[in-house]
Amino acid sequence: MTEYTDNGSSNEISEQDELYEHHRITADKGQSLLRVDKFLINRIVNVSRNRLQAAIEAGSVKVNNQQVKSSYKVKPFDIITIVLAHPPREVEIYCDNIPLDIIYEDESLVIVNKKAGMVVHPAYGNYRGTLVNALACHFNPQREGQAILSESIRPGLVHRIDKNTSGLLVVAKNEVAMTHLAAQFFKRTIKRNYSALVWGDLAADSGTITGNIGRSKTDRKVMDVFPQGDYGKHAVTHFRVAERFHYVTLVDCNLETGRTHQIRVHFRSIGHPLFNDNEYGGDRIIKGVTFSKYKQFVENCFAILPRQALHARSLGFIHPATEKEMYFESQIPDDMLQVIEKWRKLSQD
């Protein structure tokens, strides 16, 4: 998010983990009357007129907290805010014919139920086989196996989930939808619920974990919680116990914010890492139990579920075109269900 007055100075406030940006601009006292679209295109770096028009159409441009049209004339001391989805980097994306579990699609968006093990977008070491590569082929089947510019396919990601997390993602298919959804993520009106299996028996039936999340100062590959708030980004996770199995607990998680590895690092911070999360200590067998063959039992569970036990179960938002409430659910996948059932049977015995 960038906040600045209209005098050329700027101050970086924060960087969101969702794929959007937020600007707040105060017109100076000498501002002459000027259309808001022309005002903004002169003050936001690397933004096209199409992106600005899409943001205005999506209701993501406000002046003094009121939505405006392109024709609005900016006056001195007006406060202009805008939420923009990050445009895809203009790089070549290969159209990979990879089956996708698409549970809903229309002209504005697509809802994908991502399998664990699939990277969401291309990056160093993962240029092929990602969700974006699969979507490129889904949108352009005639270009299978070919490389096309990302700008031409518009798989508009406005959020993401980890490679080894399964579950629901919403992907925009045009600029207006992407901007509209990005604004909902910014306002925290998107409803996101996860199912997680965590080590240990939680003391409370429900609760909230709050703590700034940032890159670990000792290992830049992982995140850490900084409760004093002097580093990282504000993060809030609400949880409710769904079922107790003595040694592990099944929890429902509701995200108020969307930080990198948020659920995983938050539960590690309270001493309950996600089951088999190898980056946050969940792949270590908890000691202190008494029944025989416990180690073998846990290792069998690890073999069935070779990833962190986390699933993005539901997703709710306002449709960017129809303005209707949309809600989608995804069943917990088989690998996680099998492990839950093994723990359930063990706890009952």
User: In 171-195, which positions are buried (b, 16+ CB within 10 angstroms) versus exposed (e)?
Assistant: bbbbbbbbbbbbbbbbeeebebbbb
Q: Which of 17, 78, 96, 162 is catalytic?
A: 162
Angle between helices 334-348 and 294-304 (to 10 degrees): 160
3-class secondary-structure state, position 335:
helix
| Ordered alpha helix ranges (H), 248-293 | 262-269
Residue 162 is among the residues annotated as catalytic for this protein: yes
Using H for helix, E for strand and C for coil, what is the string for 152-211? Answer: HHCCEECCCCCCCCEEEEEEECCHHHHHHHHHHHHHCCCEEEEEEEEECCCCCCEEEEEC
Distances in whole angstroms, Cα of residue 225 to Cα of each of 96, 160, 235, 265, 303: 37, 20, 9, 7, 29
**Dist. CA 185–CA 171, nearest whole Å:** 13
Residue with tokens 């709050």: 210
Catalytic residues: 162
